[in-house]
Structure 1
């Protein structure tokens, strides 16, 4: 079975879909994208297609070819291009054999996968109200951004506001609901230490990206300050990128993104590495339906995966939501805060290609917002 064609669709709100077709007529879908750099990743996929068109589908060999054969390797653009291609190839492989992808990776280890839902938006102004509504809808876990932009040393007012939001959420939904707090790399280590200590009485499910990944050495100091689980990894790529972090003992939960870190099989390898260090996995996934489908295939065959991010209703998805491009919007079937074990072959979804083609004519030019501190210095978003 050989790859006959590769077709890309840039669709709102900020996604890039890839359709791979074989000479036998089977199709597979992947999501190769970096948010805000879709055109760049699209070009990378087109360049990589020269190594793939007309070739037999051998997923590991193709990963090695694309990752190592280009001489320069790693980073968000190249690895995200590989990730989307790899997802599509697994989709085809599963369909060809008539089984879900998780069956090709050892079979299921669970019957249900818990998910969490975003609340509050970038500045989390409505977090408590949103949390109450999501819990009433059946979710058992939520996540919010912890704070707005922060300078290296910033006002205690911002600390107090972040703590007040968390207190309001706990008052609204109690302590049985998991509440993840995403620092989004916006907080520098000094302020992160202060914030985490103040948030500790409210028992967050985890603190995410308390510092930027390039400052992961600061996690050792943060771990000394508090026992709140530390999560990070959405901006890290391949097993080599996670190697030192896992060995450091300074992280409790890793969050590789299957659209950025190298694809399904690569993240399964990363998860296996994490398991040897007794570290949990919660795949990052604020993207589209293919990304979520791939993540769930991983979750169901990965014993240390404990919760799954998903983008339904997320504040980035203005005008278009995750289910809009699916032939069957009910395929994920959230119930009681979890997704049931899927049984359809491949990634377990069918795309609404007619709608995708129509949306691709509109396209998008989504860009990350640029935030600044009061004195005009560019801040982390």
Structure 2
């Protein structure tokens, strides 16, 4: 069996899918994308494809080593995301060729279902309580929301009160048994994070996500030491070496993204590394169906897994939804806020290839918004 063709498809709302075909007719799917840089990653995928055409798809680890280390200049979100999608597709092929789900190839399942959370607010949710209550009614036991929109460089008393009021509304709607996570989204300075976190602690958030930007990971330990709330980070960390300083800082939850952090191969290693630090894994996944399917394969074979993010219904999904590209939507059906273990070979889903091909090229070039402070200077989104 040899790799004969590699294709990419840019589809709404902001996703990039890749398809690897073998000369035996086995097809694997991946999702390599950096949100806002889909065209750049697409080019990187086709550059890396030169290393794979004509090769045995079952040599996944060797391909991963060559793709990540075969060039003098390595790493970064674009390359690691391109590798991630191709790696997902190779694991999909391996599972299909052997007739088993990927998580079986990785040691087998350690659980029968995974808890998932859903998104309940944009940057300025006016009715967070109602949004959370609707998700509770739908069966979810956990939600996530942004802690704040644009932040002042040093939080004002009003900033803090607004953040706490929003969190309090979520807690009231969830009751004592539900969970909410707050995403700081890298919008907070380390000083702001230390200032705000003690005010959130009495409300018992599941975790506070990305309280500092990844380039300030050297300050993370100070935030962790003063935070009475579990700290999570990792969506913008792309390798074990990126993740190590965050783990050493004492975080509670690591959040690698299956479409950014080198795919199934590297996220599996990040999870194992995290286990040595007694850190839980919550895969980051605001993307499409293949990214979610890959995340679930990791979730089902990872002992230190906590909870799964997913993007069904998220506010980013305008013009298309996760289920639009899946032939059997039951694979992503929720049962009391959980997803059941996929049993189909490979990644466990059947991509609707006709829908993907029809949608290719129809996605607008998504870009993250540019925010500014009142004085006109750049503000983190």
TM-score normalised by L of structure 1: 0.98
The superposition leaves residues 245-272 of structure 1 with CA deviations (integer Å, 9 ceiling, x where unpaired) of 2233x21100000100100021011100
The equivalences for 1:2-151 within 5 A come to: 2-57=2-57, 58-151=59-152
Deviation (angstroms), 1:175? 2.0
Deviation (angstroms), 1:375? 1.1
The answer to whether the Cα contact below 8 Å between 2:220 and 2:246 also exists between their aligned partners in 1 is: no
Aligned to 1:223, the other structure's residue is in SS state helix
CA distance in 1, matches of 2:342, 2:43: 33
Deviation (angstroms), 1:123? 2.2
The answer to whether the Cα contact below 8 Å between 1:124 and 1:147 also exists between their aligned partners in 2 is: no
The answer to whether the Cα contact below 8 Å between 1:11 and 1:360 also exists between their aligned partners in 2 is: yes
* Residue 168 (1) aligns with residue 169 (2): yes
Aligned residue in 1 for 2:193 = 192
The superposition leaves residues 271-310 of structure 1 with CA deviations (integer Å, 9 ceiling, x where unpaired) of 0011011110000000000000000000000000110000
The superposition leaves residues 335-378 of structure 1 with CA deviations (integer Å, 9 ceiling, x where unpaired) of 01111111000000001111111111413211111111111111
- The size of the alignment, in residue pairs, is 380
The equivalences for 1:232-271 within 5 A come to: 232-248=233-249, 250-271=250-271
Deviation (angstroms), 1:195? 1.1
CA distance in 1, matches of 2:145, 2:55: 44
CA distance in 2, matches of 1:328, 1:171: 36
Which stretch shows the higher mean deviation, 302-311 or 153-162? 153-162
Gaps of 5+ in 1: none
The answer to whether the Cα contact below 8 Å between 1:178 and 1:204 also exists between their aligned partners in 2 is: yes
CA distance in 2, matches of 1:314, 1:253: 22
- Tell me the C-alpha RMSD between the 2 structures: 1.0
Aligned residue in 1 for 2:300 = 300
Which stretch shows the higher mean deviation, 201-210 or 157-166? 157-166
CA distance in 1, matches of 2:286, 2:128: 18
Aligned to 1:51, the other structure's residue is in SS state coil
The equivalences for 1:321-332 within 5 A come to: 321-332=321-332
Deviation (angstroms), 1:225? 2.1
Aligned to 1:34, the other structure's residue is in SS state coil
CA distance in 2, matches of 1:321, 1:75: 28
Aligned to 2:7, the other structure's residue is in SS state strand
CA distance in 1, matches of 2:354, 2:368: 28
CA distance in 1, matches of 2:101, 2:311: 22
CA distance in 2, matches of 1:4, 1:90: 16
Deviation (angstroms), 1:107? 0.3
Aligned residue in 2 for 1:153 = 154
Aligned residue in 1 for 2:224 = 223
The equivalences for 1:308-347 within 5 A come to: 308-347=308-347
CA distance in 1, matches of 2:125, 2:211: 17
CA distance in 2, matches of 1:146, 1:88: 35
Which stretch shows the higher mean deviation, 239-248 or 192-201? 239-248
The answer to whether the Cα contact below 8 Å between 1:42 and 1:81 also exists between their aligned partners in 2 is: yes
Aligned to 1:331, the other structure's residue is in SS state helix
CA distance in 2, matches of 1:126, 1:347: 37
Gaps of 5+ in 2: none
The answer to whether the Cα contact below 8 Å between 1:131 and 1:169 also exists between their aligned partners in 2 is: yes
CA distance in 1, matches of 2:74, 2:225: 35
TM-score normalised by L of structure 2: 0.98
